[in-house]
């Protein structure tokens, strides 16, 4: 089965599909970001991904590929609940997805070249958007018989990693990796948390409690509060640690096969790596039965 990957990024859906038992493979991928395309090609080979504006894709072009599976991870910014002013389908960043759904898909259906399967991934907020309404109504009008939604397990992916004592309860630790297996062997300089930055972080001091340190009763100024957090020894996850957490690469366990590598082409900055990784779903679960 041929698969197309739209908004392909660094290939999260491609990797998830390849690690599953689904009889499909990605033959073409599309993304507008040049850095994403370079990283994608470095890891999945040249000739698959194409840098282009997805809103310019035509039914005639996609009909020639005649893929049975579409993998789509459109821009999340128009829908995220973290943005009170999110515009949903009115956001220009939603245009390309609506183009695929409203214009391209019906035309493909008329020539019997439309996909038989879809996987659409997005954030909390998308499910109540006008874009989702357009998607569902279009699929129903084209007689897609099954609309299946995998519960998001919350609006974000939460990973609970703990240091465990295998002797305490061996049955409960089967298949559980210790947190150190996801971390770099040595702390990397420059991953401390500056005052005005945010991101995926790790609390290194388990003896201190955030709620106790910062409470509504505290009379500290904002600057004092930030300094108080110094005792927690907060730091960013490195890009390599995030790749392990999201299942792009394996934990550093001696019992596992050698860690598969993820290639960052020369010239990709640390900041760009964070932007490209984003908040990707846990790869290993995307194609599992719920």
Q: Are 215 and 222 in contact (CB under 8 A)?
A: no
Residues with Cβ within 8 Å of 1's Cβ and at least 6 positions away in sequence, in order, are 22, 23, 24, 25, 67, 68, 69, 117
**Looking at the predicted structure, is the pLDDT value of residue 289 above 70?**
no
The angle subtended at Cα 202 by Cα 199 and Cα 203, nearest 5°, is 125
Model confidence pLDDT, tens digit, residues 22-67: 899 999 999 999 999 999 999 999 999 999 999 999 999 999 999 9
Catalytic residue among 75, 76, 108, 232: 76
Q: Which residue has the higher pLDDT, 78 or 218?
A: 78
Q: Which residue has the higher pLDDT, 110 or 213?
A: 110
Q: Are 62 and 108 in contact (CB under 8 A)?
A: yes
Is residue 76 flagged as an active site residue?
yes
Question: Among 139, 22, 8, 11, which Cα is nearest to 75's?
Answer: 8
**Reported confidence tier of residue 159, pLDDT bands at 50, 70, 90:** very low
SS3 call for 269:
coil
SS3 call for 166:
coil
Q: Can you give the pLDDT at residue 87?
A: 82
| Model confidence, pTM | 0.77
CA distance 52 to 57: 8
Q: Which residue has the higher pLDDT, 28 or 149?
A: 28
Domains of the chain: 2-155 (3.40.50.150), 170-284 (3.90.120.10)
Model confidence pLDDT, tens digit, residues 231-263: 666 778 889 999 988 888 888 774 555 556 899
CA atoms within 13 Å, Cβ hemisphere of 88 = 12
**Reported confidence tier of residue 153, pLDDT bands at 50, 70, 90:** very low
């Amino acid at each position: 089965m041929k698969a197309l990957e739209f908004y392909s990024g660094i290939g999260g859906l491609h990797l998830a599909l390849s690690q599953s038992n689904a009889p499909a493979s990605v033959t073409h991928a599309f993304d507008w970001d040049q850095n994403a395309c370079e990283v994608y090609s470095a890891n999945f080979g040249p000739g698959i991904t194409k840098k282009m504006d997805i809103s310019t894709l035509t039914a005639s072009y996609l009909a020639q590929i005649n893929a049975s599976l579409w993998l789509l991870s459109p821009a999340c910014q128009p829908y995220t609940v973290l943005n009170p002013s999110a515009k949903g389908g009115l956001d220009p960043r939603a245009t390309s997805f609506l183009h695929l759904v409203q214009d391209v898909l019906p035309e493909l259906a008329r020539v019997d070249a439309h996909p038989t399967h879809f996987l659409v991934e997005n954030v909390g907020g998308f499910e109540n958007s006008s874009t989702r309404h357009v998607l569902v109504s279009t699929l129903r009008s084209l007689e897609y018989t099954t609309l299946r939604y995998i519960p998001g397990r919350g609006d974000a992916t939460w990973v609970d990693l703990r240091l465990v004592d295998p002797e305490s309860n061996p049955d409960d630790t089967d298949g559980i990796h210790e947190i150190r297996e996801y971390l770099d062997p040595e702390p990397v300089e420059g991953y401390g948390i500056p005052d005005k930055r945010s991101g995926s972080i790790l609390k290194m001091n388990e003896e201190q409690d955030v709620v106790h340190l910062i409470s509504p009763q505290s009379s500290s100024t904002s600057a004092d509060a930030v300094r108080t957090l110094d005792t927690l020894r907060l730091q960013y996850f490195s890009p390599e640690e995030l790749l392990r957490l999201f299942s792009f690469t394996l934990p550093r366990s001696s019992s596992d096969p050698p860690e598969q590598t993820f290639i960052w082409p020369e010239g990709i900055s640390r900041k760009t790596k964070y932007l490209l990784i984003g908040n990707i779903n846990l790869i290993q679960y995307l194609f599992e039965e719920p």
